[in-house]
Amino acid sequence: MSVHLLSETETFEMQPIFISILLGICLSPIYTLECYYYNERSGGISTTHGNAFCTAVFDLDVEVASFGGVSHSRAAKSKSNWSFSEGQDCQVDDTNDNQFYFCVCFENNCNFPLSITEFKERGRTLQAKL
């Protein structure tokens, strides 16, 4: 069995690749979120990983809510008309027959599954009352 030692040139050429892989492994958990996942068909609350942001959708007319997350790849491809100003995490869409709220948040598990009643009591926001 022979062992091949890398020359200085080979070692230098591999450093950027090694550093890129190492940074990718170390930083990837930092820039992704864990979000709650729930809808009527899911059978229970679970979590999703690797998200750019967490979501909650409340349909007030039929009193149904769903919760999840949007991955970085889906977020980059989406062309949203939503505009969330600072402190405003939910926006209403009443252009169709149903009135629903689309909410986003940017912290781990920030989209805890709320009932429609609790969502209304909070002032139609994911944020807890102080």
State the pLDDT at residue 14: 47
d(CA 86, CA 38): 26
pLDDT tens across 73-128, in order?
Answer: 665 555 555 566 656 788 888 777 778 899 999 899 999 999 999 999 999 999 88
Residue 64 belongs to domain with CATH number: 2.10.60
Query: Which residues touch 5 (CB under 8 Å, ≥6 apart)?
Result: none
Among 50, 34, 60, 37, CA closest to 119: 60
Q: What is the pTM of this model?
A: 0.69
Do the domain assignments include residue 105? Answer: yes
| Structural contact between residues 33 and 51, judged by C-beta atoms closer than 8 angstroms | yes
Question: Which two three-digit tokens encode residue 101?
Answer: 């709220």
pLDDT tens across 30-48, in order?
Answer: 578 999 999 888 888 999 9
State the pLDDT at residue 41: 83
State the pLDDT at residue 12: 46
d(CA 103, CA 55): 6
Do the domain assignments include residue 10? Answer: no
Is pLDDT above 80 for 13? no
Do the domain assignments include residue 81? Answer: yes
d(CA 55, CA 112): 10
State the pLDDT at residue 5: 55
Q: What are phi and psi of 45, to 5 degrees?
A: -85, 130
Among 21, 17, 56, 12, CA closest to 35: 56
Do the domain assignments include residue 7? Answer: no
Domain that holds residue 49: 33-121
- Region 16-25: mean pLDDT is 51
Do the domain assignments include residue 77? Answer: yes
